[in-house]
Amino acid sequence: MKPLSATTAPLSSPLARGRDANEVVAPSSADPSPLTPCDVWTYQEALAARGLVRQGHGPRVYGHTGLVDRLPPPGTPGPELMERLRGSQEALLAELARAMGPFPDGGDVLDAGSVLGGNALYWAQEHRARVTTMVTVPTHLEHVRRFVHEAGMCSRVQPRLCSGEPPRSRECYDAVIAVEHTCAQPRAEWLRGVHARLKPGGLLAVADCFWVRPNAVHPSEDAWRKQLGSVTAFLADAREAGLELEAHDDVSARAVGFWTLSSELLIHEHMACASGEAKNLRAALNAVRAESRREHLWLQQGLLDGGLEYALLVLRREA
């Protein structure tokens, strides 16, 4: 793992169209067996629980990866690390808005998968969007409504519980924005549903992790990891659904630092729960190292060596 004082590499490539030729060609992204509703709920409940512990004061609570250009020095206090982590998550949303080009300020946006509504509030507050945010776990709905009320955004953000129903007759959006949401869906079917919800000329903006080499995904029973697909397969399914690629931005190098920040913050969180005895402090540090090896190092390594890609994708429905 990089020392906390290290800096991450600059953005590896400018906004680009298409895909590097060295990506392993995969079968359709519809091939993996889809996650069950229980899998999705378990994953999102874990994200929400950590988000509420770290950012529970709200109202913007995030559960996704961030972009980091420079890491803080060793010994940075936990509260400052938390603010940097949160700032990195907003940096990812700002970069996604940049990749979309002129963001449809004041437009109608469908926010998919922001767990506790932080992303929806970002689009409403920073871009004056009217946002429908889809909430997967019923118990999260009250949290989202509370955060929306506290932000004074009730007129701009409408939380809605996912029901699996087809689009409503007049449900059309200028943009559908999915941050780390596509892995939880049967992608081909989901992309067809996105097409149906977009106005002609509307945009789908995606931020997610994909594999370039399938063996870069750490072996695990974790359902989310099993669902990581390739960009090539995702874009093939998107074309089949009538969505054409406009922008493809690889931000892997900037995402690596987020996991370094997250690992360092875990140390502070474990230490806060440990007693002052040296034995317990060692146990806390060992627990952090074990969790980092399990959850963070494979991601960092894959993003650094090109086995994984954290991509921003912008696709447009034909006019």
For 221-280, write each residue's pLDDT tens digit.
Answer: 555 666 788 999 999 999 999 999 999 999 999 999 998 888 888 777 767 766 555 556
pLDDT for 71: 92
Cα 292 from Cα 267, distance rounded (Å): 10
Instruction: Give me the pLDDT at residue 30, please.
Output: 41
Per-residue model confidence as pLDDT tens digits over 70-79: 999 988 888 8
Residue 298 pLDDT class (50, 70, 90 cuts): confident
Q: What is the mean pLDDT of residues 122-150?
A: 92
With CA atoms as reference, report the closest residue to 252 among 6, 13, 83.
13
With a cut of 60, say whether residue 205 has pLDDT above it: yes
| Average of per-residue pLDDT across 166-172 | 65
Q: CATH number of the domain at 37-65+103-250+306-317, please?
A: 3.40.50.150
Q: Is the per-residue pLDDT at 109 higher than 90? A: yes
Burial code of 245-258, b = ≥16 C-beta within 10 A, e = fewer? Answer: bbbbbbbbbbbbbb
Q: What is the DSSP string of 11-65?
A: PSS-SBSS--TTSPP-S-TT-SPPPPHHHHHHHHHHHHHHHHHHHTT-SS---S-
The share of the chain scoring above pLDDT 90, in percent, equals 46
Q: Are strands 108-112 and 308-317 parallel, antiparallel or unpaired?
A: unpaired
> Does the pTM of the predicted model rise above 0.85?
no
pLDDT of residue 11: 27
First-to-last alpha carbon distance for the chain, in angstroms, is 46
Residue 309 has pLDDT above 70, yes or no: yes
81 vs 286: which has the higher pLDDT: 81
Read off the pLDDT of each residue in 43-55 and give the average, rounded to a whole number.
68
The answer, yes or no, to whether residue 181 has pLDDT greater than 70, is yes
Q: Where are the domains of the chain?
A: 37-65+103-250+306-317
Q: Check pLDDT > 80 for residue 40.
A: no
pLDDT of residue 197: 94
Per residue in 8-31, pLDDT tens?
A: 333 233 333 333 434 444 434 444
DSSP output for 148-203 = HHHTT-TTTEEEEE---PPPPTT--EEEEEEES-GGGS-HHHHHHHHHHHEEEEEE
Instruction: Report the Cα 193 to chain-centroid distance in Å.
Output: 20
- Between the alpha carbon of residue 290 and those of residues 19, 221, 263, 295, the distances in Å are 35, 17, 11, 9
pLDDT reported for residue 17: 32
Res 183: pLDDT? 75
Question: In this predicted structure, what is the pLDDT of residue 280?
Answer: 65
Q: What is the mean pLDDT of the chain?
A: 80
